[in-house]
Structure 1
Amino acid sequence: MVDLTSVDSTANATSLSCINTFRATCRQRTKRLLHSLSKVFIFGYIPLVHSIVLLLEMAIVAQIARRYDQYFDKRPVLTMMVTNSVLNGIADTVAQTVTSIRRRAAHDAKYAKNHSLDIELDEKIDQTLPHHGDKLIPTHSAHHHLPPPFDFNRLARFAFWGFVIAPFQFKWLQFLQRKFPLTANSSTLPTLKRVALDQICFAPMGLVGFFTYMTYAEGGDTEQVKKRLKNVFWPTLKANYMLWPMVQLINFRLMPLQFQLPFASTVGIAWGTYLSLTNSSSEDD
């Protein structure tokens, strides 16, 4: 008599083994494909993988933008979270792309001759924006002598931060709107109060939260959190005050509530790129 239980167990084990083998094969093929694509550069400097990721992210943003009002009316917080996550992902992708281009160019003797304006712009950025270390946009590191492949884990960490911080940002914007309402007779003073409170309270706490989250997400511990905050918090906060008071002044004065976070996040692509570069540069210490 055939033991059906034994047959079922054997069949399940065989199926599970096949599934695991298939997954392992897919992972290996994906790694080989990405490794091959990471060596392909458009016009000799622009990494292909980075460009593909950026195009996909822009396509997602375009899809969200087409139906933003519908999404917001049904699920406002979730809409903010997804939008913020994608825009944060774009910021990190831009940061990785810029770093890859500069590192590849640094090993090309012809680059300095043919792209002197780019080099001058990089030097101007380093002189203007506060940052930790010698360069905000590194041309080399202790770990990479050539452009590193696209870091999908880093992208995921940065996008997830945008996802989880969005509800707090949205609630904060609602609080500011209730606390300092704009009226036909009084709009300038409440707007200034919103900006002041936002920059005095939320901005520093947001930076502490960002660098703490990133350190732990990268496998760091409490001592590394303290070290990173000591190195990058004050330069980053100084850079924050060079940009965000004016941005938030426009945001609070002109934008309806449902567009305030997307507006800030869109402008924040540049800021997020700066944060990603700052966080990445502190990793190399």
Structure 2
Amino acid sequence: MSYPIEPRIPSASGRGVVNEIPFVVSPAWLSEHFNDAQVVIVDCRFSLGDPELGRQQYKTSHIPGAHYLDLNRDLSSSVSKYGGRHPLPNPTELGQKLAAIGINWQETLAVAYDDSRFAFASRFWWLLRYLGHDKVALLDGGWKSWLSGGYPVTNALPMPKPGKFVPAVRSHFVVDIDAVKSRQAPPQVILVDSREADRYRGEREPIDPIAGHIPGAVNYPWQDVTDELGRLRSVTEQKQRWSGVESAEEIMVYCGSGVTACVNLLSLEIAGINTGKLYAGSWSDWCARVLNPAQ
């Protein structure tokens, strides 16, 4: 099986070696390969305002062969006092779910899509790489691009073809609140807020109990990674976007709950910057600790 040549992804080692795994695949490419034994498609559609909507949409219509993974049930763990609204899932449990849908660790190309400009599919992309699986890509333009291209859809559920997935967690991909508090030392360390500009400025806060941002954070809204149709902007544009922080030793990225921050982490990787780390709890964790400090 051959993959598209561009854009390519730097190796996880960060040494400049380039793998043949694309960041995105086109609907045309996926339409030719969705029956390949070593391709597994994952539907990540979700709505924060209506948590059951994505699953309902999947049951109604999805890409042939696609499996559904839910942001709350599969790509996050249970919410507790601290850790944010979407804590990272247990690696072993997620590994079992990935194996159950046929993803073999470091063998299967997993292709994820949503209808939200990578907002949820990028969480899946980041999680697989966090678990040591680099063969993961996103469908460029997502569900809407598949439909607009006239490609087939179905409501049939795929037959399970169990694989083997044993996570090799890359713990250095994540930082916690203690790291955020102790390692902020610009320009060596940059803290990036991925939310919309008005939420960053504290003019609007539709979800969390406190408006504003973590002191010292700079704002790079996640929606700027794609165009209005949800298609990935060019490598050149991604590099230009991060031109002011590429020399930082560490870039800690957050959003509201550690989900859309992954879109910015994708953008950083495309730009050739592999120092990005996820503050998984993000603003929701920060707020919880401000309102309910540990005793």
What is the TM-score with the length of structure 1 in the denominator? 0.25
Larger helix proportion of the pair = 1
Larger radius of gyration: 1
Larger strand proportion of the pair = 2
Q: 1 or 2 for the larger relative contact order (CA 8 Å, sep ≥6)?
A: 1
